[in-house]
Amino acid sequence: MDDTIDAPTHGHLLIVGGSEDRQHGMRVLTRFVELCGGADQPVAVMTAASEIADQVFEMYRVAFAELGVTRISHVHLDSPKEAASEKLLSRLREAKGIFMSGGDQKRLLEMIGGTPVHACIATAFARGACIAGTSAGASAMSRFMLAEGKAELEPEKGAIRLGPGLGFVERIVVDQHFAQRKRLPRLLSIIAERPDLYGIGIDEDTALLISPGKGIEVIGDGAVTLLDGLNMVSNIDLLDTGEVPRLIDVRLHLLPAGTRFDVGAAADGDTRVPPPFQDFFDTLIQSEQPEQPEQREPS
Amino acid sequence: MDDTIDAPTHGHLLIVGGSEDRQHGMRVLTRFVELCGGADQPVAVMTAASEIADQVFEMYRVAFAELGVTRISHVHLDSPKEAASEKLLSRLREAKGIFMSGGDQKRLLEMIGGTPVHACIATAFARGACIAGTSAGASAMSRFMLAEGKAELEPEKGAIRLGPGLGFVERIVVDQHFAQRKRLPRLLSIIAERPDLYGIGIDEDTALLISPGKGIEVIGDGAVTLLDGLNMVSNIDLLDTGEVPRLIDVRLHLLPAGTRFDVGAAADGDTRVPPPFQDFFDTLIQSEQPEQPEQREPS
C-alpha cells in the first residue's frame, strides 16, 4: 500500500493542552476515542517526543483500556533512522487515531520530521484518522512550532524561537499548559515576533478540536486563549534582545470548554462564528490538503 | 481656607503597581518627587488603606528621606470620624504630593470616601498636587474600584465586585501587582462584567503617569497591560456564577516602562498616540474637573 492520498474526507485534529485527565471523567480522551470511530478501532500512541517512552505508553494504554480501547499500538523512535521501519509505518497506517504524547517537541520533530513516519501520519489524516497531540505533541502539530521559549513575566524580543512543525495546521503557533504555567507573555512574544501568525494557548485538560472544513470546538476543563496580532502596532523592530515590546491592538479571544463554532450555523444560533473571529476561524478549519512533508534525505 | 477649586492646572496622577523600589534606583518614587516640584516640597503619605500604618509610614519616610524629602507628614485614619480632623486636612492642603500606600482599598474608601479628607485630596489635585497611589492605593484612584476579586486561572462570572473609588480617573478599573500575581484572568473578569470600562493592570515597581490634558507615561521596571472590551462579543449574560465566559475581540495593549504618548506629538514621532489607542488615551487624560465627591453624612 503506497502513501498517495485518495480519500476525500479529512479526519479531525485534536490539539490538547497537556495533563489531560486519564483517570476520572477523561473528557478529552473520551472524545478522541469517539473521533476514531469508537473503542473498537485501532489507536496508535506515538511517544517520540518523550525520553520515557515505555512509561508514557503504559499510562495511555491503561487510560485507553479504561475507555474500552484494546487495539492499541506503540510507535516510538530513538533515532530518525527508525522512521522508515515497516513495523512502525504499518501501525500508523492501520490506526484510526494517532495520539502524540508530550515530552519535547524538538525531539519529536528530530525523530520524524520529513520522514516516512511523518508522511504516513499526514496520509492517515487525509484518509479520516483523528490526529491528536498533547503538550509537546500539541505544539508540534502546526506548521510553526515553538522550539524554544523563555518563561518571563512580560514578552521580550528574542524570548522565543520557532522551528518547523508537522504542518497539520497553517499559520498558527500552539502553546500548552497555558493558564497553569502562565504562558500569556510567551504567546505575546510569539505574535510580537511573527504578527502574521495566530497564537493559540491551550489550558491543561483542555483540547481544541478542529474539524477541517466544518468547525471547531473546545473540549475538557479549561479554555483556549487565542491571540491575533494582524492589526497590531509594535515597536519590536527597534528593540534590542531582551527588551519588552510595546504592543497596541492585539486581539484576544477566550473560548471556554463547551464553545463550538460551525460553518454555516444558523445566523442566530450560538454556534455561529462571531464576525470578529471569522478570519481566525477560517484559518483553523481550512481543509486544503496539507502538503506532503518534504522528505528528509536519509542520513 | 475653603475647599473650592480656583487653580486652573491639574496636578499629575501616578498610579503605581505595588512593591515600588524603595531602596535602590527608586525610579517611581524619584519621579513622584519631581512631580511634586522637588525634594524641598511637602509630601503627605496617606496610610488609611493599611492596618500597620506606622510601619508603612516609616518605610516611606526613610525612602523619601533618601531622596532628599524632609517635609513629610503622615495622614492616617482608624475611623471615618477622623476625616474632618483639621490636623489631617491641613497636612493635605499643604502637600504638593499625596502618596497613598497599599493595604486594602476597601479600608481606604471606608475611611475617607465622601469625607472632607477626600474632598481635600480632590482639591489638591485640582490645584496642581501630584496624587499617587500604590497597590490598594492605585486601585482606589479610579471612579470604579476593584473591591473583591477571586484569583482564578480563567475569568469567571461573579469573580469580581466593583465598588466606588476616589474618582480621579473615569471609566477605568485598576489592578496591580499585575504580572507578578498573574492577574490577567481577573482583569478579563472585570471587563467581561463591565465592557463599558477599560481595564488597566500595572506590574510591580511600575507606574502609569497621567498628565491630564497632556499625555501618559510608563515609569519603572515592568509594564502596564490595558484591556478594552468595547468591541467585545461575550456570552456572560447567559451564564451562571462561576462559569467561564466566551470573550471575542478583546483589545489588549502592552505598554512597557519608557512608553510615552503626548497630545499633539509630531505625526511621525514615537510619542504619537497610535490610532487604535486614541480613545483609550483620551479617556485617561481627560482633564475635566472631577466632581467634588458626594459628601457622606456624618455617622
pLDDT digits (tens, 9 = 90+) for A118-175: 999 999 999 999 999 999 999 999 999 999 998 899 999 999 999 999 999 999 999 9
Give the pLDDT confidence score for residue B298 in this predicted structure. Answer: 58
Split chain B (299 residues) into runs of 10 and give each run's mean pLDDT: 52 98 96 97 98 98 97 98 97 98 98 98 96 98 96 95 96 97 97 98 98 96 98 96 98 98 85 96 80 66
B→A contacts (Cβ < 8 Å), by residue, are 153-155, 179-180, 182, 184-185, 188, 203, 222-223, 227, 231, 233, 235, 243-257, 259, 270, 274, 276-277
C-alpha cell at A295: 522528505
C-alpha A136/C-alpha A105 separation (Å) is 5
Model pLDDT, residue A264:
84
Nearest to B246 among A231, A251, A254 (CB): A254
Q: How far apart are the CA of B155 and the nearest CA of chain A, in angstroms?
A: 9
Interface touch B254/A188, C-beta < 8 Å: yes
Element (H, E) at A13: strand A13-16
Mean pLDDT of chain A, nearest integer? 94
Determine the Cα–Cα distance for residues B17 and B15; give it in Å rounded to an integer: 7
Whether residue B287 lies in the annotated active site: no
* Distance separating alpha carbons of residues A155 and B272, to the nearest angstrom: 22
pLDDT at A3 over 60: no
Angstroms from B243 CA to nearest CA on chain A: 9
SS3 A266: coil
| pLDDT value of residue A297 | 64
Catalytic residue, from A19, A50, A135, A139: name it: A135
The DSSP string of B30-96 is HHHHHHTTSTTS-EEEE-TT-S-HHHHHHHHHHHHHHTT---EEEE--SSGGGGG-HHHHHHHHH-S
| pLDDT score at A2 | 45
HSE-CB for A232 with a 13 A CA cutoff: 29
Instruction: Please give, rounded to a whole number of angstroms, the shortest distance from the CA of A62 to a CA of chain B.
Output: 29
Q: What nine digits make up the cell of A44?
A: 496508535
DSSP 3-state of A202: strand
Question: Residue B276, exposed/middle/buried by CB under 10 A (0-12, 13-18, 19+)?
Answer: middle
Catalytic residue at B76? no
Distance from CA of B176 to the nearest CA of A (A): 14
Q: Do B245 and A254 touch (CB under 8 A)?
A: yes
Pull the grid cell for residue B289: 474637573
User: Least CA distance to A189: which residue of chain B?
Assistant: B254
In A127-197, which residue ranges form alpha helices assigned H by DSSP? 136-139, 184-193
Contact A120, A48 (CB under 8 A): no
CB pair distance less than 8 Å for B184 and A184: yes
CB A293 within 8 A of CB A116: no
CB pair distance less than 8 Å for A253 and B251: no
Residue pairs between chains A and B whose CB atoms are closer than 8 Å: 100
The pTM (predicted TM-score) of the whole model is 0.94
Question: At A98, is the secondary structure helix, strand, or coil?
Answer: strand
Q: Which residues are CB-contacts of A214 (< 8 A; sequence separation ≥ 6)? A: A262, A263, A285
**What SS3 state is found at B279?**
helix
Beta carbons of A287 and A212 less than 8 angstroms apart: yes
Which ipTM value was assigned to this complex? 0.93
Q: Do B223 and A245 count as a contact with CB atoms less than 8 A apart?
A: no
Q: Known catalytic residue: B85?
A: no
